[in-house]
Amino acid sequence: MVTALENANASVREKACEALGNMDKEVATSSVVGALLAIAGHDHYESLRKVLNSSSDFSYIDSDTVSELLGLWNREAWFIRDIPLEKIMIAYVKTGFPEWWSVIELHALHTDCAITIVENTVIVYGNSEPVTFDIRS
């Protein structure tokens, strides 16, 4: 699938994006996410959104790809609103990548969430009950 996403032929890339967007199971890898990020365009971002939302969490994404996601979300702020903050927090807890903190901050700003940090506990306040995450250094 990554090879098709990187193909020089635009229609091949388009079909690969369409196929990824229609898959119900978890198909995301850091390579797939990176390849989708490399292809600019609303339709490709929609495929990326579907791939990310089909994942149980984002701990499979490497730190370079997290930085690329942050770049996209800084340019296309509407896009981050569709991604559950809990998945981003779980990725931070599992990977410890500091890049996730910038994503968490951006997400909170665009979704009207509040975040408090007390010692090793992060509490996210949103539209539902507060969600607590333990972060160990």
In this structure, of 50-54, 71-75, 94-98, the range with the lowest mean pLDDT score is: 50-54
Q: What is the average pLDDT score of the chain?
A: 81
In this structure, of 17-31, 79-93, 104-118, the range with the lowest mean pLDDT score is: 17-31
**Domains identified in the chain, total number:** 1
Range of the domain at 90: 2-134
Question: Which residues neighbour 23 within 8 Å (Cβ) at sequence distance 6 or greater?
Answer: 51, 54
In this structure, of 3-7, 119-123, 127-131, the range with the lowest mean pLDDT score is: 3-7
Beta strands per DSSP E along 1-137: 114-118, 121-125, 131-134
